[in-house]
């Protein structure tokens, strides 16, 4: 489905990661030096942030939201809906969104919803926020999310044990933007990526790779066609940070030079739902500024794949915050 929205603005984005990191080189004893070296070369991960035992993704989402609060991006009384996107919520019930609603001092009239959409979650949240903001009574949506998948992988599985980092994010979406957003979404039932209740994260690497380098480039091309823009008109293509080799293949198949398809997996790993906002904040921390004509594309569990065309002002993106473990 291709949808177009006018009058929306991404007012600010923040991201937070655990202070503790795990080095991929440390897995050599478990998997062998050759396997680890090959993983580092192909996947592109050198280290990734790991949440301490018992610390939930909501802790990092809240830290990111408080960063936006401190920066004056929003005031609690201006938020009419809060969304929390995650595969690893605090509990089945109550919703993590309602818990964060209370911790952040949002009013009782605030709509609080949890969404579960894996690696495509940030764009799913933007799409949901866009629909909510179509109602006159909704002024701003606080989009929160994060995952702590590092503790749910099979430690004997080379595909995932060295891949997933933990992180959280916050974004404020409001009315008043001058540029239209175009968002494409698609999904197909698949068990290629799965997280069973009480089980370990499961992923079929071959199936995920084939899906990523076929359906995602097709969708990116479709969004360009729908907007009538050429590749040259796009400043940046921001892809879910799934795998460095996959990112290079998508860049090649869509005709974008790799310089316009940034990869920052080396120190982050695959942070699932937080991947795109974390990439935005890391780029802002590197000094990127100004409005950029961007394509954002995310893909994963479902299988679900989504692509958005919007303008980004990196002045509104906060540098990523590294959070110590909470005090007892």
What domains appear along the chain, each with residue ranges and CATH number?
2-177 (3.40.47.10), 181-316 (3.40.47.10)
What is the mean pLDDT of the segment spanning 128-153? Answer: 96
Confidence of residue 185 (pLDDT cuts 50, 70, 90): very high
Query: Is the predicted pLDDT of residue 26 greater than 90, yes or no?
Result: yes
The candidate with the shortest Cα–Cα distance to 314, out of 297, 290, 282, 286, is 290
* Per-residue pLDDT at 205 exceeds 80: no
Average pLDDT, integer, range 28-45: 96
Q: Looking at 138, 140, 240, 281, which residue is catalytic?
A: 240
240 is catalytic: yes
Told to judge if 119 belongs to the known catalytic residues of this protein, a careful annotator would answer yes
Rounded Cα distance between 262 and 159, Å, is: 22
Which ranges constitute the DSSP H helices of the chain?
Answer: 28-31, 33-43, 57-70, 96-103, 121-132, 158-161, 205-212, 215-227, 244-254, 275-285
Of 119, 138, 263, 317, the catalytic one is: 119
Average pLDDT over residues 156-169: 95
Q: What is the mean pLDDT of the chain?
A: 95
Per-residue pLDDT, 302: 86
* Measured CA distances, 254 to 105, 250, 274, 307, 310 (Å): 44, 6, 24, 13, 18
Tokens linked to 150: 């590092």
Comparing CA positions, the residue from 322, 324, 313 lying closest to residue 13 is: 313
Per-residue pLDDT for 37 more than 90? yes
The catalytic position among 138, 140, 263, 270 is 270
**pLDDT, mean of residues 134-143:** 96
Which residue reads 């009538």 in tokens?
Answer: 228
Phi, psi (degrees; rounded to nearest 5) at 110: -75, 130
Given a contact cutoff of 8 angstroms between Cβ atoms, the answer to whether 300 and 318 are in contact is: no
d(CA 313, CA 98): 29
pLDDT digits (tens, 9 = 90+) for 280-297: 999 999 999 988 999 999
Distance separating alpha carbons of residues 287 and 280, to the nearest angstrom? 11
| Residue 328 scores a pLDDT above 80 | no
Residue 207 has pLDDT above 90, yes or no: no
Q: Is position 138 annotated as part of the catalytic site?
A: no
Q: What is the mean pLDDT of residues 191-197?
A: 80
């Amino acid at each position: 489905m291709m949808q177009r929205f006018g009058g929306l603005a991404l007012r600010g984005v923040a991201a937070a990661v655990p202070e503790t990191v795990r080095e991929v080189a440390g897995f050599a004893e478990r998997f062998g030096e050759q396997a680890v070296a090959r993983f580092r070369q192909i996947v592109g991960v050198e280290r990734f942030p790991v949440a301490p035992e018992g610390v939930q993704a909501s802790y990092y989402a809240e830290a990111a939201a408080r960063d936006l609060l401190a920066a004056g991006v929003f005031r609690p009384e201006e938020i009419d809906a809060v969304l929390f996107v995650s595969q690893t919520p605090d509990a089945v019930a109550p919703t993590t969104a309602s818990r964060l609603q209370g911790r952040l001092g949002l009013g009782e009239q605030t709509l609080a919803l949890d969404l579960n959409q894996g690696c495509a979650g940030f764009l799913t949240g933007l799409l949901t926020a866009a629909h909510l903001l179509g109602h006159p009574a909704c002024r701003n949506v606080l989009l929160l999310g994060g995952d702590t998948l590092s503790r749910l992988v099979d430690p004997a599985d080379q595909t995932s044990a060295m891949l997933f980092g933990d992180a959280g994010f916050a974004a404020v979406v409001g009315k008043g933007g001058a540029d239209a957003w175009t968002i494409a979404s698609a999904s197909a039932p698949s068990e290629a990526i799965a997280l069973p209740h009480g089980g370990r994260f499961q992923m079929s690497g071959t199936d995920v790779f084939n899906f990523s380098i076929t359906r995602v480039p097709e969708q990116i091309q479709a969004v360009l066609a729908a907007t009538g823009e050429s590749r040259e008109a796009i400043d940046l293509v921001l892809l879910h940070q799934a795998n460095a080799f996959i990112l290079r293949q998508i860049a090649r198949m869509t005709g974008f030079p790799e310089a316009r398809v940034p990869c920052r997996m080396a120190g982050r790993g695959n942070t699932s739902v937080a991947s795109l906002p974390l990439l935005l904040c890391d780029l802002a921390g590197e000094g990127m500024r100004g409005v950029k004509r961007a394509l954002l594309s995310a893909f994963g569990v479902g299988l679900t794949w989504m692509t958005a065309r919007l303008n980004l002002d990196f002045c509104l993106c906060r540098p990523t915050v590294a959070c110590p473990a909470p005090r007892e």
